[in-house]
Structure 1
Amino acid sequence: MTMSKTEADLRLSMLNSLLTCPHRKLGLVHPLHAELVKQDPRFYVRLAAWYADHGDVRDHKEMFVVTLALSDFPGHRDTGLALLRDLPPYQVGRVIDFIHGRKEDVAIEVDKKPDDVPDAAFRPKVQRKGKKPGKLKASQSGTVTLTDTFGLFRNVPRSLKTEVTRYLREREADADWFDSTALTARKTLKRLYALLHVKPGPRAQAVLFDEEPPAGSKLAGLKELAKAEAPDEQAKLITAFDVPFRVAIGLVKAASPKVLKALVGRMSPQEVINSLDMLRKRGAFEDAGVKALIEQKLESAKTASRVSAFKAEKALESVPVSADVRKKLEGVADAQVKARGRIARPTALLIDKSGSMSQAIEIGKRLGALLAAVADKDLFVYAFDSIAYPVEAAGPELAAWERALTGITAGGSTSVGVGVEQLRRKKQYVEQIVVVTDEGENAEPRFVPALRKYREELKADPAVCFVKVVGATTQLEDECKAAGIAADAYQFNGDYYALPNLVPLLARPSKLELLQEILEYPLPARRAE
């Protein structure tokens, strides 16, 4: 199948949109997905299947299921329902909640207006956890009740209700599986049964609604744990009933070594990384046995499928740990980045450090570390304003590149072409140039003339990719287009946890080959009942 340039541009724009990280605000990405499925429904369904296996942002995975489950395009619903079966219960609940819609009254405490302050000048302070409540009148004070709305307020399709019913029955058929799910997602399960009018099986009825879990079950063990006072007894119960860390941590009375060992034993590798500071404060690293168990979990995090490289990196920045634990965390971050794919083309990364480019520097630091970790060929990194500063790391590890990119501060005028000039002068051959920028340029040498000169002298035709910061223009894209130079542009609107999404997009020999891979990606099939 041959794609026209217009088709390729449209599909690349879909990929670009997946760099956003909405942080559990599905309403922000719903219009985007609705437009994408309308523009190219055949590509969208393949993109959904590909993203389920290669993407990171859970909000997008949920919205793919929502969009496909509501779509009238042939085959979309079956694919969406197949993808739903692989989601954990809390994400299934979010999918159903978003389609069905939800209203929630929220009580808000508002400061009282002083008598000597006119209404027009009063800006009440609002004390509320979570989202902002919207505008309040200056005359309002004390406790105010506002109504939150969330979702589409549509009927849940019969096919989706059938699939969720199968999902629940599958878990009911396995007592241990159901009990484990009920421990961590009790509210979600109860809402799914009630909202979709699914009659619970005997065990679900006893566990969720009658509050009478069967003797010897994990739920019964949880009740025993809540009553236990002695740390040794709590540790024994946590281990015997395999109580998940997130549940057990709220019930433990004291952080003895036995309790800590039991807790860490129940933690996933990602939970260990997220909870390092809590474990440190409770003395986990002071006991050799507990510390050894933590290090085992960190070692397994290198190959775990649901571990974020940047969360491991964040732990390095914020938690004071010993040198050996730090080395383990660096290894986790490095391994997880490399698992994203390998870049087989010589690549240049140009980071804009001119006057107002603090955000570009932060993105560039992390992107430089990412690319360095997955580059099989040469990687040349320059930070530029009106001159280009070479950035070299002491080693190939992710942490080494992060250290090499520290100390770069924003300042100076902007010559995007100066980095390309440096590549030309040093005869550094690349097949891909990645520029982190707002696309503003106000000094010589300019990007397009410098790139032409580079292509002519080195007999090279590097692909160009702009990673655009918030507030970026299209200046360089327009100049490239006018000069007949193909350039991709990725608008980075999310946070750094979404940045690894760029790696598989840059790891392919060409964007056209990536699009072709997605177009040919196999669609999942619904499981037989």
Structure 2
Amino acid sequence: MPDGDVMTQNPPVELDVRVAILNSFLTTPHRKIEELAPLHASALANDPLFYSRLALWYFAKGEVRDHKLLFVAHLATSEYPEFREAAWVLLQKLAPYEVSRALDHTKKVIGKTPRSFKGAVAHYLQTRENNPRQFDGAAMRARNDLKHLYASLRIKPGPRAQAILFDEQPPTDSPLYSLKQLAKADSAEEQARIIIEHKIPYTTAVGALKNVTPVVLVALIEAMSPQEVINNMAALKKRGALDNPEVKALVDQKLEAAKTDKRVSTLKAKKAMTATMLDAETEKVLTEVMDQRVASKVEIKRPTALFVDKSSSMSQSIEVSKQLAGLISAVTTADFYVYAFDSAAFEITVKVPEGKRPMLSDWEKSFQFIKANGSTSIGVALAQMTRKRQYVEQILIVTDEGENSSPLLADAWIAYREAMKAAPSVVVVQVGGYYDRFAQGLMDRGVELTRYRFDGDYYSLPNVLELLAQPSRAELVEVIMGYELPRRPDRVLQGV
């Protein structure tokens, strides 16, 4: 069963194909680039018009960087000149390491690198060379990637690029020259001055230093962006940054700034929490960062229910559901109901001050007595909602789809539709397994169904929000088709 397989009653064939493509992208967790590539190749082959518009929408709304560089690589090597031009424009938005990976993908996987792609990279590099500060910043963080782009495509570097990347003789006004001075500095005060004055990145600076004192740590954190603080949380903790009150206060300031910084990735905040054993206060702040960044990207406007399978052996379902409850409650502006079920259903609620949204820690308290045991009736939660007259338009279910007790979800859905005059769509997050018979029973009754296979990567869970944030998949397809392919600025000026 492919991830994100969607069926509805007699949909138009063209729309059905596009809905299936869209859901494949939205329900594909963060994986290695080579595992995502066949999805892009298939979507481009089956519906090139929709794929090109999906690329533009994903650059505006998506968070998984691997998808973005793959969109560029596949559009750049397509047979359509309009797509290659769009890829030229989109490539300018990538980071150097992403351009480098896109280049390797065109060569090693797709098997061709057209002249237009080389032209896009040449313009990308020239633009940065024309801005010494931007070029030096890129060279500081991605020196090998930039060298790879120049060398692989035989692009002649300008004097500054040649000196920095290939001659290893950076000009005296370059941060890379200052990096050499940093390695020679004798005192912590001098090291701190160089780091702050030239904004030397954390990972680069620590490689040049023999010892990292609290004074130097303060300087490093001062020079870091909120995203860099989040990315390096584990390393900062290891170096004692969270144990020193002065340094910890500076970290907290950066995390507070991350809440409103549009450059901060939701997924990176989540990864920092799962990869590092943090104190409760810091984890709370990171949760708030994640909630704020999620809320800035999506808004769930439809009344929603979350059903949590707590039957025997479903402990992971409970853990996944805590995370989803925290994510959804951070972005919903409509009614939100949470039920745990085995052969009976139990509504889960949280208590927070008026005007406040529940946080992950609030949901963890509410879930603390929910343990995995009992048989499985997925329909029992919906049956209880029918009795309580709780109206929803979509249901998110975390389960292995293994129903073995009545009422079955398909039967409960029919009863709900008749009683509430509503036909809620269903999104299943598969944890621990799946059963096609369960899905077929729902689709036979006309349920709009999306199945998302969770592979253990909590880092990918924010993807689920996109499945809930739109009125319907069909309407989202219409939004995506409204995007227009971008034109190269030079061609627009020339009227070509």
Is the TM value for this pair above 0.5? yes
Cα deviation for residue 435 of structure 1 reads: 1.5
Identity of matched residues, %: 47
**Partners of 2:148 and 2:339 in 1: CA distance:** 53
Q: Residue 517 of structure 1 aligns to a residue in which SS?
A: helix
Counting only pairs closer than 5 Å after superposition, residues 390-401 of structure 1 correspond to structure 2 as: 390-395=347-352, 396-399=357-360, 400-401=362-363
Question: Counterpart in 1 of 2:94?
Answer: 87
- Report whether the alignment pairs 1:496 with 2:466: no
Equivalent residue in structure 1 for 2:22, among 1, 11, 15 = 15
Question: Counterpart in 2 of 1:260?
Answer: 217
Amino acid of the residue matched to residue 17 of structure 1?
S
Question: Counterpart in 2 of 1:422?
Answer: 384
Counting only pairs closer than 5 Å after superposition, residues 425-444 of structure 1 correspond to structure 2 as: 425-444=387-406
Equivalent residue in structure 2 for 1:455, among 417, 440, 443 = 417
Call closer, same or farther: CA 1:318–1:46 in 2, change over 3 Å.
Answer: closer
Equivalent residue in structure 2 for 1:33, among 19, 34, 40 = 40
Amino acid of the residue matched to residue 489 of structure 2?
R
- Report whether the alignment pairs 1:383 with 2:390: no
Question: Counterpart in 2 of 1:478?
Answer: 440
Q: Residue 360 of structure 1 aligns to a residue in which SS?
A: helix
Higher-helix-fraction structure: 2
Amino acid of the residue matched to residue 423 of structure 1?
M
**Partners of 1:286 and 1:474 in 2: CA distance:** 51
Question: Counterpart in 1 of 2:5?
Answer: none
Question: Counterpart in 1 of 2:482?
Answer: 520
Cα deviation for residue 364 of structure 1 reads: 2.0
- Report whether the alignment pairs 1:63 with 2:63: no
Q: Which runs of 5+ in 1 are unaligned?
A: 102-150
Give the greater-gyration-radius structure (CA): 1
Cα deviation for residue 274 of structure 1 reads: 3.3
8 Å contact 1:16–1:491 — kept in the other structure?
A: no
Question: Counterpart in 2 of 1:213?
Answer: 170
Call closer, same or farther: CA 1:524–1:415 in 2, change over 3 Å.
Answer: same
Call closer, same or farther: CA 1:199–1:37 in 2, change over 3 Å.
Answer: same
Call closer, same or farther: CA 1:185–1:335 in 2, change over 3 Å.
Answer: same
Question: Counterpart in 1 of 2:144?
Answer: 187
Deviations 1:301-331 (A, max 9, x none): 1122343445435545665656654443232
Structure with bigger RCO (C-alpha 8 Å, 6+ apart)? 2
8 Å contact 2:23–2:450 — kept in the other structure?
A: no
Question: What is the aligned residue count?
Answer: 476
Cα deviation for residue 493 of structure 1 reads: 4.2
Counting only pairs closer than 5 Å after superposition, residues 226-265 of structure 1 correspond to structure 2 as: 226-265=183-222
Aligned residues: CA RMSD = 2.3
Cα deviation for residue 504 of structure 1 reads: 2.7
**Partners of 2:305 and 2:276 in 1: CA distance:** 33
480-489 vs 65-74, which moves further: 480-489
**Partners of 1:398 and 1:466 in 2: CA distance:** 23
Amino acid of the residue matched to residue 20 of structure 1?
T
**Partners of 2:407 and 2:280 in 1: CA distance:** 45
8 Å contact 2:22–2:477 — kept in the other structure?
A: no
Equivalent residue in structure 1 for 2:301, among 344, 353, 376 = 344
Question: Counterpart in 1 of 2:84?
Answer: 77
Counting only pairs closer than 5 Å after superposition, residues 11-410 of structure 1 correspond to structure 2 as: 11-18=18-25, 19-23=27-31, 25-101=32-108, 151-152=109-110, 154-285=111-242, 287-309=244-266, 311-313=268-270, 315-316=272-273, 319=276, 324-395=281-352, 396-399=357-360, 400-410=362-372
**Partners of 2:177 and 2:245 in 1: CA distance:** 32
Q: Residue 249 of structure 1 aligns to a residue in which SS?
A: helix
Scaled by the length of structure 2, what TM-score is found? 0.90
**Partners of 2:174 and 2:19 in 1: CA distance:** 50
362-371 vs 198-207, which moves further: 362-371
Question: Counterpart in 2 of 1:118?
Answer: none
**Partners of 1:22 and 1:294 in 2: CA distance:** 28
